[in-house]
Amino acid sequence: MRLVVSLLILVFSTTSLLAEKKVVSPTTSAGNENVDIIATISMTEEEVTQKLGADPGKGIALLAVRVVPKTDKPVDVSPDDFILLAHDDGERSKPFEPAEIAGGGALVVANTADNKTKKTSVSAGLGGMLGGGGGSPGNSKVVALGSRMDDKRQGNTALLQVLKSKQLPQKETVETVEGFLYFPLDGKHKLKNLAVLYRGPAGKLDLEFEH
C-alpha cells in the first residue's frame, strides 16, 4: 500500500513539474487601417518541432503569422513582406524558403550591400550566419538568402513537403490568411531583443516581442 501511495505521489509531482516548465510561445501584434498582423514565435528546436510536426534542425525560429485584411480591397501577402530584426546586433533576415532548409541545394548567403556571397549552413544562426556586424537598426542591411544546387547533398523530401504545406502562402486576398515563416536564429538572441518587421503593400508595421 505504501508503495502504491509513493508511486502516486511521484507521478503527481512529476506532472506538476512538467506543467510548471510548459513554455507558452510569445505573441505580438500590430495593425493599421489596412491590415492587422499577429505573430507567435517559437525559438527552441523542441518547440519548433512540436508546432511544425517535423524537426527542421537547429538554428531555426518558427514564426506563426496571421494576416487579417481590414478593407474590401485585396491585400497582396508574401513571406518576403516580413523581416526578423535583432535589436542587440542590428541584423535583419528574410525567412528561408522550404528548399533552403530541406532541399538538395547548398545554402548561399548574399549581402545585398556589396553583392558578396558565402556558403553556410542553416545551423549557423542569425548572428553567426549573417555576419553579426553590431550595427544599429537604422543602418543595418537586409541580407538576401538564396540556394545553389549541390549534387553531393540530398534533400529531405518529407520535411520539404511539411515546410511547403505549412508556409505562409503568397496570395492576394480579402480574407484572413495564416501560416509559418522559417527564420535563421541562433541561441544567443533573447526574446526581448527580437522584433518582426512587416514591409508589404499594406504599409509598414513593427511587431515587438515583450516579456
Give the Cα separation of 143 and 137 in Å (integer).
Answer: 13
Residues 161-177: pLDDT tens digits?
999 999 999 999 999 99
- What lies within 8 Å, CB to CB, of 211 at 6+ separation is 26, 191, 192
Q: 0.85 exceeded by the pTM? A: no
Domain layout of the chain by residue ranges = 23-208
Amino acid at 202: A
Residue 125's pLDDT is 38
Torsion, Cα of 113, 145, 31, 87 (10° steps): -60
Residue 121's pLDDT is 42
Question: For every one of its 211 residues, what pLDDT tens digit does the chain have, with 9 covering 90 and above?
Answer: 554 444 444 444 444 444 444 556 799 999 999 999 999 999 999 999 999 999 999 899 999 999 999 999 999 999 999 999 999 888 899 999 999 999 765 444 443 444 433 334 443 333 333 333 333 344 434 444 433 344 334 568 999 999 999 999 999 999 999 999 999 987 688 899 999 999 999 999 999 987 4
Residue 186's pLDDT is 74
Placement of cell 549557423 in the chain: 124
**Within 10 Å of residue 88's Cβ, how many Cβ atoms?**
15
Percent pLDDT > 70 in the chain is: 63
